[in-house]
Each structure stands twice: as structure tokens, then as C-alpha cells.
Structure 1
Amino acid sequence: MFIRKLLNVRSQCHLNLRRWASTDPLSFKNEKLQSYLESLRQEYYSLRVNAAGNNNSRLARLDGVVNALEKHRALQRNITSDEDMAAEKDEDMRALMQEENNVYTDLLQKQEDAMLKELLTLSDDKLYPALIFEVNAGAGGQEAMLFAHELYNMYISYFDYMGWQYEEFAHETTDIGGLRHANLLVYGTEAYQWLCYEAGVHRVQRVPATEKSGRIHTSTASIAVIPRPADAHVHIAERDLKIETKRASGAGGQHVNTTDSAVRIVHLPTGLAVEAQSERSQLKNRELAIKRLHAKLMQQQLESAEASTQATRKAQQGNQNRNEKIRTYNFVQDRVTDHRVQHGGTHHNLSGFLDGGQQLSGLIERLQLEHRQSKLVALLETWSADKN
């Protein structure tokens, strides 16, 4: 719904530009775009003639674009040319021809919007069946942990809103209801295409409940979104693990001081170390530590693969940089501001946003649309350069 609204706004604001200016890379008068669309059409019919199991996915993704292109060309053939209009001597007939042209022009505009939407979706990276979603408290002590817990609740609500299944395998809380760290496995073939825009540093500005002088504090929490490909696999051999137990630290009463329930595991081949002490049982902490190690090894594997293809994915740089401030939640002014949106990135009704429903989804849809547009423009430039 939100994408359709933005496409309609864009088509209304840039109607003349899209019709007549070839300098707009997403104008259907642009030669690069027309040439690229024709190459996709030829690829589509070539794949249909030489149908093979490996091509079914690509064929399905091209289907929407090519069908929209064929409908667009059929509509164009129904428009009477300026020469034929001028040659018609009967004024009533000429008026009727103009009226028909206006109808077909409106239909063409709608078809162009539909084709653009298909093209933007086509520019997406490969789909992943699942992803690892990580929430970490950042700078700000207890206040940062309280904020991290609020973000965690917001995203859990968002997963439910989108209908995604999820499984939690790490969750460390504080005595006052804060969250140090949480890891979840989120299932859904489109989940990564939505959640990747949430990766980064989230900043909160408010007067903490523990602040007696009424001063505004600034704290942070970070979100990491790690795609999990269908063929991704991490094997952890028992012989590669060094497992240590110790007494848990922090609050927890007599149990903490007398039981060696905390577990530390070192993965000898990589040197990665993880700890778990949130559970009372040593066995449960061991299971938790193994899951955390699995997630870290998966992240390491995926980041290594990502590094080798970084040059071809410039459009996504920044979205997964944990040191980049992407959004500010200002409780005093009841607003949330996404710093990646140049115009209209500020929304009020912060409590509604933190519900993890339509407001959050609408902002992500806007980020998704702008990102897809920039990727499509970059793809057209790369394609054109390679062709020449």
C-alpha cells in the first residue's frame, strides 16, 4: 500500500519529466532504461525456449516485468500519432481521437508505474529463508539496556505484524528490566528485504526514570541483521571446543555465589569465545553458549562471503554498519527521526511507532523504495557501461 502511494505521488509530481525528459534514469523515454527492458524481454523468452530447472527462479522473477512491458507496448500502439491527428479534417473525429489518446495516456502512466514496481523488486538481492536478528545495548549503561529492551519488544511485535516465525536463542536481561543482548532466528523469505534497513545504531533521547534532576540522557542500542542462506551450514565438532565453568557474576542471590553454572566456550580453530550465565542450570547455559557460538560462526562465514562481493553491492553500504546512527527516538518531543530520509523522515506519536505496527512498517517501506530506486539507477549505469 505504501509503495503504491509513493509511486502514485512520484508519477503525479514528475509526470512531464517521466514523459519527455530522457535525462531521468527512471523515465520510460530514457534510452538506457528502454534498452535494458528489451534485454530483459529477450532474456525472458530465451529462458522460456531453453527452459531448465536452474532457470525457473529467474524466469519467475522476469515474468512480471516482461508482462508489464508487453502491455505497455500494446497500449502505445493504440495511441494516435500527432501526424494522423493533424491529417484528420473532421473536428468531431479529431476530438474523439484526442479523448481516446487521453484515456490511453492515463493507462500508460499506470502501466509504467506497475512496470517500475516490478523493476524495483527485480533489483533485490537473492532471497534468504532466514536471518539472525541481534539486539545489543550500547552506550548509556542501564538506560541503554532499558532502551534495548523496548526495541526488542518493538521488533517482536513487528515480526508478529508481518507474520514471520521466530526463535530466540539468546536473551540476557538486567534486574531492572533492561536487556543486555538478545539473538533471534527469524524465518521468512522476504524478512531480510525488510529488516536489513534496521541494522545500525538506534539513539534514544529522554529523561530516564532513574534521573532525579530531570536531565535528558542520550543512549544507544545496536541492531544487527545477518542473512542466513539456504546453503549456509556451520558444523561444530566437540573436539574443537574448550569448555570452562565458573560461578556466575552479578545479582542472583545465594545460588550465584555457590553454583558453577556459568559456561565459557572457546572455539579452538577460530579463537572465538562465548559465555552464558543467564540460566540457573549449567546444562542450559551450555546449550545457550553453543547456540551463540553457532550464530557467531555463521556471522563470520557470511561476513567473509560479503567482503568478496562488496564492490558489486555498493548500494547496501551503510545499512549494516553498526557504528552508523540511523535513527533517533526523542521522547521529550514525542518524535522519531530516521536520518537516512532527506525529507519527511520525522514522525510523531512515538508510542505508536514503538508498537511495531503500521508506522514502523511504513517507514521501512519508504527506505526500501528509495534504496531500490538507487540500486536500479546504479544497475542501469553498470549495465550500460558493460554493454559499451
Structure 2
Amino acid sequence: MKKSSLIQKLEGFKKEFHEISKSIIQPNIISDQKKYKILLKKYIKLEKIVLLYEEYNKKLALLQEANFILKNDSDADLKELASIEKYKILENLSSIEKESYDLIFSEETTEDHRNAIVELRSGTGGDEACLFVEDILRMYTMYFKKSGWKYKIIHAQKGGIKGYKEIILDVNGKEGVYGNLKFESGVHRVQRIPETESQGRVHTSAITVAVLPQVKEIEVNINLSDIKKDTFRSSGSGGQHVNKTESAVRLTHIPSKITVECQEERSQHKNFEKAINVLRSRIYQIEKEKRSKEISIKRKSLVSTGDRSVKIRTYNYPKSRVTDHRIHKSIYDLVGFMNGNIQEMINLLKRFEEKK
């Protein structure tokens, strides 16, 4: 991380620390134990960073004094002392920069314990891509079961013949949900002979996966006046009810142009709540990606950046092979992988990220 970027980031944390310092003593926050605990936890983490930043600024002031003496003073003994002092200060600054970076990166990765929003969308390949969305959905749900996690469908849009054009899941577990699933973000490519292919030719299709950390209301404040709400009749399951009431909800966040739909619940109120949660996670992810760009200068090849335009994995059915292109690893057990045995690949990706 460049020094200017580090200082800019530390200034941002300092500003956030002072804002939380003011909020945490407000009666309405103190009376709400849930909000108070979240803010207190954040306050303690930021305090460590801010104290380091204050020490950093003191050392920079001392460095400026030493440089002034070396440039302007004629006393040889004083200049020698200033030179020795400057060397010590530069060592201290280097140590503080490293510690600050470690704390900042730790702050970035504390979200690994969060639950997750998982979005699957068909890409190139038409009906075959929709079928592959359904296959990957099955793969993930079997993995969730093995991991002891629970999931709910927030939104689903069926494909033209079979499968799904889009499906969004709310995934919850005791720990490590986002920390494991974050590696799945990106383009997943499939190479196989479609059922509709009469000449036995292998086709290539692709889908995109986006994994977002779930965030709490206090972490991302959404102004309701910035949201355009539309309701419509659900096209999902639910019997006659779906044809009689406009329970489905579409939310558009005007500043960011993000649109979210939810139609899986019979209640419009519940659909609204779920859609707001997805919207909050997407806004949080945009801000997170802005911060990650700075960190990626230092850590040039994070495997969990979540770039949805990057091809991360190929599922080759004729060769029964799954290849992850980020770590150049192939597993020759496609059937087992598609039955939810994906933890081995995730563990390899984790180890690769830790080495960076």
C-alpha cells in the first residue's frame, strides 16, 4: 500500500472513530443494547488504529525536525545526532506502517464470520446456462447441508425451458459462511454436451456467482426517500394467492441504480424486508470493493476479490474435471464436486490467499 493511500485510509478510520465516539454516548444508542454493542465493538477496533496513527504523526513531526537540522544546521555534532535520530525514526515509521497495515487488513477480513447472500445468474449459453444455474444451486445446497448451514430462497426467476435465469439465497450458519463462500464469486464455465445437442458436440456456457456478506442495519444506513418501491403479482409458487395479491416487491435504490426483487414470501412486508437486506449487502459490497482496490496494490492477487467478470472455474464434463484458474488446481471428481464436495477446493484457495 502506498504511503499516501495508507494515510488517506487512516484519516478515514480516524473520522469514523470520532463519529462513533459521538454516537455511542447518545441516549437512544445506549438504550438500544443491540446497536450499542455493535458500535462499541467497532469503537474498540478503531481506537487501536487511531492510536497508532497519532503515534505515526508524532514520528513524522520528529522526522521533519531532523531533516531541518541536517539541511540547515552548521554544527557537525548536532548533525550527526540528527542523522542517528533520523535513522531510528525511519525504522519506527516502517514498523508503525506495517502494524497499521496489519490492523487495516484485519479490519477488512473480520467479515469472514458473517452470513452471506449468494446470487446466481445465467450468462452466455441460453437455456444451457439456465440449467447450469440449477446444477450449481444443487451443488451449493448440498454443500450447505454438509456444513450444517441453512438457506432460504429470496428471489427466483425461472429459465425459458428449465433451470433458472437468476436465483438469490440467504445463507446462515454458526460461523464462517461468508469466509468460505466468498471464494465462489466470479464466472463459472461449463463444458458439456447439452441434452438438446443432436450431434454430440461439446458446448461452453457460463454463469456468474456473486457472494455478498450480510450486513446489519446500523452498518449501512439506507434513506427510505432514496428508494423507489414497486409491487407486482408473484410468478413463483404459492397457489391461487400469487394471482390475487401484489405481494412481490421491487426496490430501486435511486443513488446507486441498484434494483432488487423479492417474491418468495406471501407477505409483501416480508418480501420488502428481504429485499432491503439484499440491497444493503449490495451497497456494502460496492464500498468494500472500493476499499479492496487500495489493498490489492499491496496484495496483488487476492483470490476472493469477488470480481464477477473474471473466469474463476471450469467444469469439464467429458473429462470429469473441475479446474480453478486462480490457483491452477484441477480435481478429477466432477460427480463428487457437483454433489457438494467443494471444501477441498475452498481450503486450497484459503491457503493461497494466506500466502499473499
Normalising by structure 1, we get a TM-score of: 0.54
Identify the residue that residue 351 of structure 2 maps to in structure 1: 369
Distance in 2, matches of 1:230 and 1:260, equals 27
Q: Deviations over 1:205-251 (max 9, x none)?
A: 1111122222211111111111235675445565554334567799x
Task: Tell me the distance in 2 between the aligned counterparts of 1:258 and 1:167.
Answer: 24
- Structure 1 Cα separation of the partners of residues 295 and 170 of structure 2: 27
For 2:44 and 2:249, the matched residues in 1 are separated by 45
> Contact 2:215–2:284 at 8 Å: present in 1 too?
no
Structure 2 counterparts to residues 5-20 of structure 1, below 5 A: none
Contact 2:232/2:246 (8 A) holds in 1:
yes
Bigger Rg over Cα: 1
Unaligned 5+ segments in structure 1 are 1-52, 59-121, 375-388
Change (3 A) 1:294 1:350: same
Aligned to 2:293: 310
Q: Residues 276-302 of structure 1: CA distance to partner in whole angstroms, max 9, x if unpaired?
A: 5678x6x55x75465335313321233
Q: Is the 8 A contact 1:132 1:186 kept in 2?
A: yes
Does residue 208 of structure 2 align to residue 217 of structure 1?
no
Distance 1:330 1:232, change over 3 A: farther
CA contact (8 A) 2:260 2:278 kept: no
CA displacement 1:323-380 (0-9 Å, x = unmatched): 11111111112211111223xx2222211110102xx111111111122112xxxxxx
Q: Contact 2:190–2:204 (CA<8 Å) still a contact in 1?
A: yes
In structure 2, relative to structure 1, the CA distance for the partners of 1:212 and 1:249 (3 Å cut) is farther
Residue 146 (structure 1) aligns with: 131
Q: 8 Å contact 1:198–1:319 — kept in the other structure? A: no
Give 1:146 deviation, angstroms. 0.5
- 1:294 is matched with 277
In 2, Cα distance between the equivalents of 1:317 and 1:361? 15
Of 337, 343, 362, the residue aligned with 2:323 is 337
CA distance in 1 between counterparts of 2:255 and 2:246 reads 26
Report the alpha carbon displacement of residue 153 of structure 1 after superposing the two structures with TM. Answer: 0.9
3-state secondary structure, aligned to 2:201: coil
Q: CA separation in 1, counterparts of 2:209 and 2:323?
A: 16
Work out the percentage of aligned pairs sharing the same amino acid.
Answer: 34
Give the secondary-structure state (helix, strand or coil) at the position aligned to 1:316. Answer: coil
| Residue from 150, 156, 159 that aligns with 1:165 | 150
**1:16-165 alignment to 2 at 5 Å?**
54=44, 125-126=109-110, 127-165=112-150
Match of 1:200 in 2: 186
* Deviation at residue 183 of structure 1 after TM alignment: 1.8
Would the aligned equivalents of 1:137 and 1:221 in 2 still touch at CA under 8 Å? yes
How many angstroms apart in 2 are the aligned matches of 1:347 and 1:236? 43
What residue in structure 1 maps to residue 19 of structure 2? Answer: none
3-state DSSP of counterpart to 1:326: strand
Contact 2:247/2:271, CA 8 A, preserved across alignment: no
RMSD over aligned CA atoms reads 3.7
Q: Hey, what's the Cα distance between the residues in 1 that align with 2:260 and 2:133?
A: 20
- Which one-letter code corresponds to 1:292 in the other structure? A
The 3 A distance-change label for structure 1 pair 326 and 256 is same
Q: Which residue of 1 aligns with 2:81?
A: none
Provide the residue aligned with 1:348 in structure 2. Answer: 332
Confirm or deny: 8 A CA contact 1:129 1:228 kept in the other structure. Answer: yes
**Structure 2 vs 1, CA of residues 201 and 308 (structure 1 numbering), >3 Å: closer, same or farther?**
same
* Structure 2 Cα separation of the partners of residues 266 and 196 of structure 1: 25
Cα separation, 1, equivalents of 2:109 and 2:325:
24
Deviates more, 1:234-243 or 1:323-332: 234-243
Question: What secondary structure, in the 3-state scheme, does the structure 2 residue paired with 1:308 have?
Answer: helix
Q: Secondary structure at the match of 2:109?
A: coil
Would you say how many aligned residue pairs link Structure 1 and Structure 2? Answer: 250
Q: Alpha-carbon deviation of 1:151?
A: 0.5
Q: What secondary structure is seen at the aligned counterpart in 2 of 1:340?
A: coil
Out of 313, 317, 341, the residue aligned to residue 327 of structure 1 is 313
The 3 A distance-change label for structure 1 pair 273 and 215 is same
Work out whether residues 129 and 230 of structure 1, in 8 Å CA contact, stay in contact via their aligned partners in 2. Answer: no
The aligned residue for residue 16 of structure 2 is: none
Query: What secondary structure does 2:352 align onto?
Result: helix
What code does the residue aligned with 1:158 have? Y
**SS of the residue 2:113 aligns to:** coil
Q: 1:305 to 1:207 in 2, by over 3 A?
A: closer
Partner of 1:3: none
Q: 1:132 to 1:275 in 2, by over 3 A?
A: closer
- Counterpart CA distance in 2 for 1:248 and 1:167 is 17
